[in-house]
Amino acid sequence: MAAADPVAAVDADRADDGRLAIDRKLIYIDTLRGCAILMVIVVHHSQRFDDLPAILQVVTAYCQTGVQLFFVASAFTLCNSAALRRQEPSPLVSFFIRRYFRIAPLYYVGLVFYALMDSSLRYLGFIKGPTVFTSLNVISNLFFVHGFVPGAFNSVVPGGWSIATEMTFYALFPVLFAGLQRLHRRAGLGSICAVIAGVLAVDAAFQLAVIAHFGEGIANNNIFYCSIINQLPVFMIGMAGYLAIRHDRSFRPDPLRDALGFAGFTLLAIWLMNAGPAIPMIFLPSVSAVAFLFLLNLARRFVHQAGLIEKIGQVSFSMYIFHFVFAWWMTKFIVSKMGAIAPAMLLYVVTLTLTILFTYGAATITKLLIEDRFIDYGRRWIRRRDARHAKLSVADRPY
C-alpha cells in the first residue's frame, strides 16, 4: 500500500473540523456555511413576527433552504476529504469515527440542554401538555434515527431533522461516493445527472403513493419533506458539483452564467415554495440545491480571503444547535415587552441583530469547549488505530 500523503491528510483534517479557512483553497466553503446559518436564523427569527411586509415574508420564508445549502456544502466537503484520504489504512472506519465525533457530542449537549429547558419551563408553568421527551423520542435522537420517527424527527432538539438526515447520508456516503466515481469514470457527468433525476423520480413516485394511499402526504417541513429520500438528491447534487469541479474541470467559474443560474433557480424555488403543499415540495430542495451549486461557483470565483461570514461559517454547527434560544424565545420576550411602543421594523432589525450576535457569542464558546475537543479526540483515536495498524503490518512482513 502506498504511503499516505501527510500534507493531504492535514488538509483533509481541516476540511472535517470546521476550520476550512486554514486551507486557502477551500475558504469559500466556510463562507457558504456562514450564509446558510444566517439564512436559517432569519427564517426562525421571522416566525416571531406576524405582520411583516409581503416581500419580506417571501424572502424570509425562502431562507429555510439554508439547510439545503448546508447539505450541498457538506456533500462537496466530504467528497474532497474522502479523495484526500483514499490511502488511509482503514478509511471506512476512520470516516465514521470522524463523522460521529464531529456531530454527536454537541448534538447530545443540545439534547440535554433542551430537555432541561423543557423541564424548567414546565415547572414554572410556561408549558403545558404532554412532553416530547418520551423514551422513544430521546432514544431515537441518541441513535440519530429520529428522521424516521414522526414524534421525534424535529421536536426533541429544534431543527434536529437536518441532523438526522445528514447522519443518514453519512451512512450512505461511502457506497454512494464510490459508485458515483465509478459511474463518472465510465460514462461521464451526464450519467450522474441521469442518476440524480432517477432518484428524484423515485422520490416523487414514493411521495405520491403516500398521498394516494395514506391520506397524509408531503408538505413543507413535515416528516415526508424532511425525509432522506426527499433530501438525498440535494446531497447528490453537491457530489456532482465536486466531480464536475475537481475531475472534469468542466464547471469553471463564469460570473455571468453563475449569477443567472443562481437567480433563475432561486426564483423557481421561491415559486415552488408558494405553489402548493404537495408536488412542489418534492422538487423544492433539489431546485434550491442547483441554485446553490451556482452560488458555490460564484464563491469560488470571488471569495479569496477570510471575512466575517467565513468566521460565522466556522461556528455554524454550534450556531445551528443553539440559535433557537435567541431566535424564538429571546425575540418573543422582547416583542412581548416592546411590541406596543417600538416600530415593528425597528424591532425586527434590532432583535435579528441581537439574535445573530448572541448566537455567535454562544457558539464560539461551545465550538471551543465541545466541538473542537471531541474532534481532536476522534482524530487522536484514528491516529492510534493507524499506528497499531502500521506496527502489525511491519510485524507481518516476510523477511
Buried b / exposed e over 88-127, threshold 16 CB at 10 Å, is bbeeeebbebbbebbbbbbbebbbeebbeeeeeeeeeeee
Query: What percentage of the chain exceeds 90 in pLDDT?
Result: 78
pLDDT at 386: 87
Q: pLDDT by residue (tens digit) across 28-86? A: 999 999 999 999 999 999 999 988 999 999 999 999 999 999 999 999 999 999 998 88
pLDDT at 2 over 50: no
How many contiguous H segments (helices) and E segments (strands) does the chain have? 17, 0
Question: For 355, what's the count of Cα atoms within 13 Å in the CB-facing half-sphere?
Answer: 32
Distance, in Å, from the CA atom of 269 to the CA atom of 260, rounded to the nearest integer, reads 14
pLDDT at 397: 57
pLDDT at 74: 97
Distance, in Å, from the CA atom of 241 to the CA atom of 250, rounded to the nearest integer, reads 10
DSSP 289-344: HHHHHHHHHHHHHH--S--HHHHHHHTHHHHHHHHHIIIIIIHHHHHHHHTTTS-H
The angle at the Cα of 240, spanning 298 to 227, to the nearest 5 degrees, equals 105
Distance, in Å, from the CA atom of 70 to the CA atom of 197, rounded to the nearest integer, reads 21
Q: pLDDT by residue (tens digit) across 83-135? A: 988 888 889 999 999 999 999 999 999 999 999 999 999 998 888 889 999 99
Contact between 165 and 180 under an 8 Å Cβ cutoff? The reply is no
The residue-averaged pLDDT of 347-375 equals: 98
Q: Using CA atoms of 365, 369, 373, 375 in order, give the dihedral in degrees to the nearest 10.
A: -40
Q: pLDDT by residue (tens digit) across 300-311? A: 999 988 789 999
Residues for the chain: how many in total?
A: 399
Contact between 17 and 375 under an 8 Å Cβ cutoff? The reply is yes
Q: pLDDT by residue (tens digit) across 158-173? A: 999 999 999 999 999 9
Buried b / exposed e over 247-283, threshold 16 CB at 10 Å, is eeeebeeeeeebeebbeebbebbbebbeeeeebbbbb
Q: To which residue does cell 499506528 refer?
A: 387
pTM: 0.92
Which of 36, 170, 193 shows the shortest CA–CA distance to 94?
A: 170
Contact between 328 and 47 under an 8 Å Cβ cutoff? The reply is yes
Ramachandran area for residue 159 (φ above 0: left; ψ -120 to 50: alpha; else beta): left
Which of 259, 244, 264 shows the shortest CA–CA distance to 295?
A: 259
Report which of residues 13 and 40 the model is more confident about. Answer: 40
DSSP single-letter state for residue 17: T
